Homo-oligomer: A and B are copies of this chain.
Amino acid sequence: MRVIITGAGGFVGQALAKKFIEVSPDAELVLADVQAPPNPTTSTKVECIGADLTKAEVREALIDRSPDAVYILHGIMSSGAEANLELGLSVNFDSVRGLLDTIRVKKPGTKVVFTSSCAVFGRAAVKNVATETDIVPMPESSYGTQKLMVEFLLNDYSRRGFIDGRAVRLPTVFVRAGAPTAAASSFVSGIVREPVHGQESELPVDLNIGIWLVSPRTLVHNLVHAMNVPAEKFGYFRTVLLPGYTATSGEILEALEKVAGKETRALVKEKRDENIERIVLSWPGKYDTSRAKELGFADDVGLERTIKDFIASTK
C-alpha cells in the first residue's frame, strides 16, 4: 500500500505518519511538505520530500507515484487565510482542487481524505447542536469558506466516480505540541503545554466557555479509519464531523491539576482578552457526531488521558 500525506511536516501530518506505520508497518509512505519534513518513524519505507503543491508540475510528479490513498492535510491556517486572501485561496482551495484534478486524470478512483474544519460553521450554529446534515454551514472566515468549497468539490468528484473522497471536519486539536500558533484557539493547548514545560501561561477567556476538542490520539486513529470506511457507507454525501468532546477551560485546568499537580496548574493566570473571547464564543460548542459513529469512527479518550499522553510525549 502506497499512501501520500501532504502537509506532512505539520502537527497532524507528523502524528498521522507515526500512527500509520504503527498500524501498517509495511506501508510505503510519502511525506510531502514545502520543505522535506522529518520522518517521525523508524521505517525505511517512509520517504520525505519537498513539494510546494501550489505548482502543477509538483502535483503531477506526486501523483505519478501512483498512490492508493492521499491524505490532503496541507494548508494555511485560519489567521493566515484571513490575513492574506490570495495565499489562502491559492493553498487551501486551488492547490487542493489541482491535486483532486491530477488524481482524477492520472489515478481515478483513488481514496482521498481531506481535513476540513468546524470553521465551516458560523454563528448560526452556536445556538444549536451542530451536525453535518441539519445545520447549514455559513462560514465567517475565509479559511472556513475555502475548506467548504473543497468539501463540495470533493463530494461532486466522488459522486461522479472520479475519486473516492472523504472530507473530515476536525475539532480543535488539544494538546498541540510545539510553539503557540496564531490561531485564536492557541491558548487551549497553551494552558496545558506551557505549564507542563514549567512555564507560565495566560487564559484569555472565561473558565466556563466550552470548546470542541479532539485529542491527537483519537484524531490519528480516526484519520486512519477514514480511509477504511467503505465508500457506500458515506452514501451521496462525503462529509463527516469527526468525534470530539466539549470541555471548558475550567475542566481542562481541573484535569491538569489532577494529572500534573497544583503547582503546575498554578502557572496558568487568568487574563481576559475580549477579542479572543468574542471569537471563541462565535464557535459552536456542541456537536452531534452520530454520523461519525455510524461510520465506525471512535469516540475521544477525553481530558485526562490526553494530558497524560502529552506529558509522556515530552519525555
A residues neighboring B (CB under 8 Å): 85, 122-124, 132-142, 145, 148-149, 152-153, 155-156, 159-160, 236-237
Question: Out of B132, B138, B141, B155, which one reaches A133, CB within 8 Å?
Answer: B138
Q: How far is the CA of A135 from the CA of B139 in the complex (A)?
A: 15
Partner of A136, one of B135, B140, B159, B236: B135
Q: Quick check: A152 and B148 within 8 Å, CB to CB?
A: yes
Contact check, A149 vs B142: say whether CB atoms are below 8 A apart: no
- Contact indicator B160/A153 (Cβ below 8 Å): no
> A142 vs B122: C-alpha distance in the bound complex, in angstroms?
25
> Closest residue of chain B to A134, judged by CB?
B136
Q: Which of B85, B134, B160, B236 contacts A142 (CB 8 A)?
A: B160
User: Could you tell me if A152 and B133 are in contact, using CB atoms closer than 8 angstroms?
Assistant: no
Is B140 touching A133 in the complex (CB atoms < 8 A)? no
Q: Quick check: B159 and A149 within 8 Å, CB to CB?
A: no
Which 5 pairs between the two chains have the least Cβ-Cβ distance? Answer: A145-B156, A149-B149, A145-B152, A138-B237, A136-B136
Rounded to whole Å, the gap between the CB of A203 and the closest CB of chain B is 28
User: Using Cβ atoms and an 8 Å threshold, which residues of chain B touch A136?
Assistant: 132-137
B contact residues around A148 at 8 Å (CB): 152
CA A215 – CA B152 in complex, angstroms? Answer: 30
* A236 and B122 within 8 A (CB): yes
Query: In the bound complex, do residue A138 and residue B236 qualify as a contact, i.e. CB atoms below 8 Å apart?
Result: yes
Q: Report the nearest B residue to A238, measured CB to CB.
A: B138
Closest approach, in angstroms, between the C-beta of A20 and any C-beta of chain B? 30
Residues of B with C-beta under 8 A to A141: 156
Query: By the criterion CB–CB under 8 Å, are B156 and A139 in contact?
Result: yes
Q: Is the CB of A159 within 8 A of B140?
A: yes
CA distance A171 to B164 in the complex (A): 32
13 A–B pairs (Cβ distance < 8 Å), ordered by A: A85-B160, A123-B236, A124-B237, A134-B136, A136-B136, A138-B237, A139-B152, A139-B155, A140-B159, A141-B156, A145-B152, A149-B149, A149-B153
